[in-house]
């Protein structure tokens, strides 16, 4: 078989949720963000694993994403939608019992007209300028919206992965200002906000990337491992080249393995120069360009060629691959290939 195998440890996801949950007070509800198919790891399986240990609120980006989550967790969990109540979403919101985070006057009007008695939340913009009502829009809508009983009011931090960034206290102050005097559950912090401490916890936290083992939750249990089959090996002489555009030339007699994964599987081409494959605790550098479906690896140092080489391990994490590719762990996770044979572990 020439497809790589991706192991996803749902037990580690559960432990990460519990660790993040333990960082906030007993009265704070820890939800789980499972947008983009659970950061690429399967929103249904992830939601179910977290439901089993007590998570009762899940966030998705788009209403369509909620179907798999509802199916997995059953009727009593809350499923909230960051993009709010979009045109055309009313039937889905009603049928799946979703809670749209209303982002604008248009969405507020749409929701109250279409589903006047249906639960909703509100998203406020405290400076990120992405989603939510601006302070002046909120000022004019606030009394009417609050009278309808929002089940939560949230905002999102732009710089929470940099705890010392001045944007954090600035957004915190704006959020406090906009929600002052209200008796409504509040939510501001995602993974980074949880790590910044109780000021940022309010009533509901919304961890995403930390559940899946990514930065800024540096103490997270690793969740994904990726093993890639070796298709063939060959010996190359000094002066021979490997791969497209001849970017690598052998400086010594070398043994090269061609492995069955490439940029079509989310192994971003730009990570090649800095990335290694693991054979147990030995490392083998990538040589030449990463192709669509194949990668050359220098295995000269191995006394025996294994059937597979590992790209993602507890040592070479999604964050290390991200750094090698000039991106963030979130993008590595959500790019994980659809060709991989996926295996779900509960440890
Ligand atoms: C993605 C997202 C989260 C989760 O953020 P992480 O950094 O992955 O923990 C929380 N809230 C909103 C609004 C988001 O878009």
Residue 228 lies in a domain: yes
Q: Find the 5 Cα to ligand 1 centroid distance in Å.
A: 28
Q: Find the 188 Cα to ligand 1 centroid distance in Å.
A: 10
Q: Find the 274 Cα to ligand 1 centroid distance in Å.
A: 29
- Pairwise CA distance, residues 85 & 122, whole Å: 11
Name the closest-CA residue to atom 10, ligand 1.
Answer: 190
Mutate to test the pocket of ligand 1, among 156, 213, 328 (most ligand atoms within 8 A of CB): 156
Residue 148 bears catalytic tag: no
Residue 24 lies in a domain: yes
Q: Per the confidence metrics, is the pTM higher than 0.85?
A: yes
* Bridge partners for 40 per DSSP: none
- In this structure, how many other beta carbons lie within 10 angstroms of the beta carbon of residue 80? 26
Q: Which long-range contacts (CB under 8 A, 24 or more apart) does 277-280 make?
A: 277/228, 277/309, 277/310, 277/311, 278/309, 278/310, 278/311, 278/313, 278/315, 278/316, 279/306, 279/309, 279/310, 280/306
Residue 49 lies in a domain: yes
- Euclidean distance between the first and final Cα of the chain, in Å? 26
- Pairwise CA distance, residues 277 & 298, whole Å: 9
Q: Catalytic: which of 51, 200, 212, 244?
A: 244
Residue 204 lies in a domain: yes
Residue 127, pLDDT > 80, answer yes
186-219 confidence digits (pLDDT tens): 999 999 999 999 999 999 999 999 999 999 999 9
Range of the domain at 329: 224-345
What confidence category does residue 307 fall into, taking pLDDT thresholds of 50, 70 and 90? very high
Q: Find the 208 Cα to ligand 1 centroid distance in Å.
A: 6
Q: Which residues have any ligand 1 atom within 6 Å of their CB?
A: 33, 35, 82, 156, 190-192, 206-210
Number of domains in the chain: 2
The dihedral of CA 158, 196, 32, 42: what is its sign?
positive
Instruction: Please tell me whether residues 263 and 326 are part of one structural domain.
Output: yes
Q: What is the pLDDT of residue 347?
A: 82
Residue 341 bears catalytic tag: no
CATH code (residue 105): 3.20.20.10
Q: What is the pLDDT of residue 222?
A: 97
Closest CA relative to residue 311, chosen from 224, 232, 227, 212:
227
- Pairwise CA distance, residues 292 & 234, whole Å: 20
Mutate to test the pocket of ligand 1, among 31, 36, 82, 101 (most ligand atoms within 8 A of CB): 82
Residue 295 lies in a domain: yes
């Amino acid at each position: 078989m020439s497809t790589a195998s991706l192991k996803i440890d749902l037990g580690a996801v559960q432990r990460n949720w519990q660790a993040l949950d333990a960082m906030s007070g007993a009265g704070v509800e820890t939800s789980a963000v499972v947008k983009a198919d659970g950061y690429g790891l399967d929103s249904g399986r992830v939601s179910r694993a977290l439901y089993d240990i007590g998570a009762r609120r899940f966030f998705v980006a788009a209403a369509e994403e909620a179907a798999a989550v509802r199916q997995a967790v059953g009727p009593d969990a809350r499923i909230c939608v960051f993009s709010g109540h979009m045109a055309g979403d009313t039937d889905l919101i009603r049928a799946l019992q979703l809670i749209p985070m209303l982002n604008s006057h248009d969405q507020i009007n749409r929701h109250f007209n279409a589903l006047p008695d249906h639960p909703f939340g509100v998203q406020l913009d405290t400076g990120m300028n992405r989603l939510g009502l601006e302070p002046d829009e909120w000022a004019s809508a606030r009394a009417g919206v609050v009278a309808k009983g929002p089940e939560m009011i949230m905002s999102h931090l732009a710089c929470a992965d940099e705890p010392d960034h001045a944007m954090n206290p600035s957004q915190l102050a704006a959020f406090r200002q906009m929600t002052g005097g209200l008796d409504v559950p509040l939510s501001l912090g995602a993974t980074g906000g949880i790590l910044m401490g109780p000021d940022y916890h309010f009533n509901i936290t919304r961890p995403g990337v930390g559940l899946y083992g990514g930065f800024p939750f540096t103490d997270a249990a690793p969740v994904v491992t990726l093993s890639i089959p070796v298709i063939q090996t060959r010996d190359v002489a000094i002066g021979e080249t490997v791969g497209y555009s001849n970017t690598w030339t052998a400086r010594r007699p070398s043994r090269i393995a061609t492995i069955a994964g490439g940029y079509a599987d989310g192994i971003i081409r730009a990570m090649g120069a800095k990335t290694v494959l693991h054979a147990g605790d030995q490392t083998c550098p990538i040589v030449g360009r990463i192709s669509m479906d194949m990668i050359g690896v220098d295995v000269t140092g191995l006394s025996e060629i294994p059937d597979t080489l590992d790209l993602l391990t507890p040592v070479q994490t999604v964050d290390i691959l991200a750094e090698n590719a000039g991106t963030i762990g979130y993008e590595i996770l959500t790019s994980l290939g659809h060709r991989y044979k996926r295996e779900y572990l509960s440890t």
